[in-house]
Structure 1
Amino acid sequence: MVQVDGIAHKLTEVESGSRGCSSAYSDEYDDDGLPRRTGNIWTASAHVITAVIGSGVLSLAWSLAQLGWIAGPFFLTFFAFVTYYTSLLQADCYRSPDPIYGKRNRNYMEAVRANLGLTQQWLCGFVQYSMLWAAAVGYTITASTSMVAIKRSNCFHSRGKHSACHVSNNPYMAAFGVIEIVFSQIPDFHRTWWLSIVAAVMSFGYSSIGLGLSIGKVLESGHSHGTIGGVSVGHAMHEISRATKVWQVFQAIGNIAFAYSFAALLIEIQDTLKNPPPENKTMKKVSLIGVSTTTFFYTAIGCFGYAAFGNNAPGDLLTGFGFYNPYWLVDFANACIVLHLIGAYQVFCQPLFALIENRTSKRWSNSKLIHDSHVMHVPFYGPLSVNLFRLIMRTVFVSATTLVALLLPFFNDIVGLIGAYGFWPLTVYFPIAMYISQHKVRSWTIKWVWLQVLSAICLLVSVSAAFGSIAGIVQDLKHYTPFKSA
């Protein structure tokens, strides 16, 4: 017997490979005994877009400035292809051994265990959940940066753009943490669909504003539109050393690669989809929508942003004050970033909450604290199941995450390092290895060789990006003071 919100449901065992899988369904429960999934192509696409199109899209102009007009668009296209291709392989691993009629794998770790064994499951879990937690810390920092940017934008408007207008990030990080404590009480990933839709709309909003402002600046005369090789090596004012150029190129490639990745959440998103149609077929359409939409915005904003500012492109088109006017539009775009990150935080943290709650539920199966729930009616939301353990655990989790963000305000570089070691295993290695195991691809066939070559290339990218991130962390530590924002 398994406790779900205080109600016992006996899990229905379905033999893997059974083609009569649909007979186990009922009006209320799916074939695994859990409440019937209701997600569709649009809710799943909202989850993907919320996870993929982060505020990092606004730093792509800086990435192209390090790479130049040839290498920059090439890597944008290359990683779009890699992400889409491996997402197709991964979508087939939601059920095993058969991708349509097999047993459900409710999360990434279960899929890895079903196809590759227990040892690799634990390795996958460590990388996946550390990445999700790091993203939550990074989102706390980024959201506070956008809040501060609104305050500074108004200051620049009233005092002039050369004024100091220093504002501390710390109160805004704390405010963002309080907001996330409230939203973290949404019981599970399935019920965050509306938050993801709002967040996806916000991502379109600030991306479109950044794109529009960049196009407007490109049409102005009297400034550089970038170069073939990007930022130059030399000793002039806007030139850098050879070593700095290498590290920044590595970091730029890593930024592009990790900006596309949603592999850490693909299985969890797929687990929200209703059946029929088969989940893998729907998820492949979702991947196409998500990657296509992402590629359009990434290419447009990256290229037009680089054309607007040339090799002096700021690290962030909006919070880095590449644009000062119209200030109200810049303020609105930064507000959209904050709203988007509120939703993205939940998309990344809900799988972490589920992991902790499932483990404690199994460990203490008779605990009333863990299993008993009470229903509250929340205005504009409806009935909400409130569980005391969930309330305490998620509040402590968000508070601890906020504290880390306050202690390490340069944590984005560490997130980049975690992303560097997470990109290859989660986006490339595990999907390829599971596909080879599931489809029994024989060694040294053309397909096997192609998959191994792709994996090796992406491993080199991850290693290079890690070195670039480490170089950034070393520079940050030279000027680091706890609880002091820049």
Structure 2
Amino acid sequence: MAMELQIRNSSKHDDDGHLKRTGTWVIASAHIVTAVIGSGVLSLAWAVAQLGWIAGPAILLIFSVITLFTSFLLTDCYRYPDSVHGMRNHTYTEMVKTILGGIQCKFCGLAQYVNLIGVGIGYTITASISMVAIRKSNCFHKNGHDAVCHTPNYPFMIIFAVVEILLSQIPDFHELSGLSILAAIMSFGYSFIGIGLSIAKIAGGNRGKTSLTGVIVGEDVTSQQKLWNSFQAIGNMAFAYAFSMVLVEIQDTLKSSPPENQSMKRASLCGVTITTLFYLLCGLLGYGAFGNKAPGNFLTGFGFYEPYWLVDIGNVFIIVHLVGAYQVFTQPFFQLVENWCRKRWPESKFMAKEYVVNVPLVGTNRMNGFRVIWRTVYVIFTTVVAMLLPFFNSVLGLLGACAFWPLTVYFPTEMYLVQAKVPKFSMIWIGMKLLSGFCLIVSLVAAAGSIQGIIVDLKVYKPFK
């Protein structure tokens, strides 16, 4: 007990015995932007095209407000029972277990970690598509826009996997700040490029046909396709705001003064506001440029051919961003498995012993035998699954649908009701339940559309060809 008190009172440790946290709201904002402005932004022009000028931006704004509201609820649950002086919850699942109990925790863990794995798969697909786009862009520039420039994705998925295997040896979230800031800068870069190219296309008079309700039944699609594509578009928009699954882990990097919930609310407001602005610009300007024929990925769908070098730069930015975003989303799952293994085999030197390795141009890094093997196997697994399911829009829509209701809405509202001791059937209680019910319906609809899209893709898809 004396030793525990000594650790907790140490100037190098926080009140829970962990090494003192040094994160700020600025770094947390960078983590959020890295997590949120991901591959989702690339599909927004297509998503708006399915819904039109009215429903498209309206649904984007609704998701923005809901995400910001529930993220505020989540930040107040980091410490429990008091949001300022209570005990810390280091992970999302730990928070649910503390406040709602074990059964809810298992449901949360399933939803969170399946989605973290899914995001890694989705980012592997997206990064390879951008690598292929660079090669195609150069081919089209050299041989003309009608040239056959087929390039398989698989070699590029392997290249992405090799880079992620190396970066996955970064021990934990606390050491990701530099990579996260670089990734956030890259996301701004390719968003600006997409916005600029869209404005240039609109100004040049070569814009596509648009409408208030999006793609036109009988002209662009059948009524059935319109319905399923609209559902899938809603899923893509939900995916574009998916960062709740790593919010608690981000908050756990913040220093304790000012209080973590205050800093995290500031970071959430900053991150969600920035991303919503970029989403509206990319989605609406992209739709204005391409109209109802907007490609699924507006920087790799080759609505933009020239200047080819600028398209290439945009795709390089996407790749670098996704390299960092993959780590932001994967670190919580790495930590889950490694913490469980350390508890399961506490005497194992293979699990616990760390070696300090000097990495050229990087500095020293802590290496561990189990970490090297386990994380390498994990990256290989996500890469193989990505090779089997390279469907960009459908996969993004399904991930968004699966993550949105449980992680962004249900658990934050339920934990708030418990922590704030809100009386049953009060106005606040009813409002929270109605919000949760509405979002459940939205998630089910989006999941149905995305699953239908995957089924259609599978009918013509041949693995590894």
Q: Which deviates more from structure 2 when the two are superposed, residues 289-298 or residues 372-381?
A: 372-381
CA distance in 2, matches of 1:478, 1:446: 49
Q: Is contact 1:230–1:311 with CA below 8 Å preserved after alignment? A: yes
The letter for the 2-side match of 1:482 is P
Partner of 1:292: 273
User: What is the match of residue 212 of structure 1?
Assistant: 196
**Aligned partner letter, 1:135:** V
Q: Do residues 426 (structure 1) and 407 (structure 2) align? A: yes
8 Å CA contact 1:225–1:306 kept in 2: the answer is no
- Answer yes or no: is the 8 Å Cα contact 1:224–1:309 preserved in 2: yes
How far does residue 480 in structure 1 lie from its aligned partner after superposition?
2.0
Asked whether the equivalents of residues 12 and 32 of structure 1 are also in contact (C-alpha less than 8 Å), the reply is no
Which stretch shows the higher mean deviation, 381-390 or 363-372?
381-390
Percent sequence identity is: 55
One-letter code aligned to 2:142: S
Per the alignment, in what secondary structure is the counterpart of residue 366 of structure 2? strand
Report the CA distance shift for 1:476/1:225 in structure 2 as closer, same or farther (over 3 A). closer
Distance change >3 Å, CA 68–CA 115, structure 1 → 2: same
Cα distance in 1 for partners of 2:66, 2:458 equals 34
| Partner Cα separation in structure 2 for residue 12 and residue 180 of structure 1 | 39
Per-residue deviation, 1:25: 4.5
2:241 equivalent to 1:260: yes
Q: Which has the higher helix share?
A: 2
CA distance in 1 between counterparts of 2:239 and 2:206 reads 34
Distance, in Å, in 2 between the alignment partners of 1:135 and 1:327 is: 29
Q: What's the CA shift for 1:416?
A: 2.9
Give 2:102's aligned residue. Answer: 118
Residue 38 of structure 2 corresponds to which residue in structure 1?
54
Which position in structure 2 is the counterpart of 1:32?
16
Q: Which of 451, 457, 460 is the aligned partner of 2:432?
A: 451
5+ long unaligned stretches in structure 2: none
Secondary structure of the residue that 1:137 maps to in structure 2?
helix
2:461 equivalent to 1:461: no
Displacement after TM superposition at 1:69 (Å): 0.7
Question: Where does structure 1 differ by over 3 angstroms across 4 or more consecutive aligned residues?
Answer: 9-13, 222-225
Q: 1:435 aligns with which of 410, 413, 416?
A: 416
**Alpha-carbon separation, structure 2, partners of 1:208 and 1:381:** 29
The total of aligned residue pairs comes to: 465
Distance apart, 1:412 and its partner CA = 5.6
What does residue 175 of structure 2 align with?
Answer: 191
TM-score (norm 1): 0.93
For the pair 1:154 / 2:135, whether they are aligned, the reply is no
Contact 1:218-1:225 at 8 Å conserved across structures:
no
The separation in 1 between residues aligned to 2:3 and 2:357, in whole angstroms, is 26
Aligned-residue offset at 1:300:
0.7
SS of 1:323 mapped into structure 2: coil
Partner of 2:124: 140
* Cα separation, 1, equivalents of 2:70 and 2:413: 7
Q: What's the TM-score once normalised by structure 2's chain length? A: 0.97
Tell me whether 1:174 sits opposite 2:155 in the alignment.
Answer: no
Cα pair distance change 1:457/1:375, threshold 3 Å: same
Query: Of 103, 106, 113, which residue of structure 1 is paired with 2:87?
Result: 103
> 1:470 is matched with which residue: 451, 455, 458?
451
- The answer to whether the 8 Å contact 1:378/1:384 transfers is yes
1 CA distance for matches of 2:142 and 2:395?
36
Question: After superposition, what is the alpha-carbon deviation per residue over 1:142-177, rounded to whole angstroms, capped at 9, x for unaligned?
Answer: 101000000000000000011110001111000100
The answer for unaligned runs of 5 or more in structure 1 is 2-8, 14-22
Of 107, 113, 122, which aligns to 1:129? 113
Query: 2:215 maps to what in 1?
Result: 231
- The one-letter code matched in structure 2 to 1:409 is P
User: In the alignment, residue 367 of structure 1 is paired with which amino acid?
Assistant: S
Q: What is the rounded CA distance, in whole Å, between the counterparts of 1:370 and 1:152 in structure 2?
A: 45
- Equivalent residue letter for 1:244: Q
2:282 matches 1:305: no
- Is this contact kept in 2: 1:374–1:385, CA < 8 A? yes
d(CA) in 1 for partners of 2:393 and 2:113? 17
Aligned-partner residue type, residue 264 of structure 1? M
> Once superposed, what is the RMSD of the aligned Cα atoms?
1.6
User: In 2, distance between residues paired with 1:180 and 1:473?
Assistant: 26
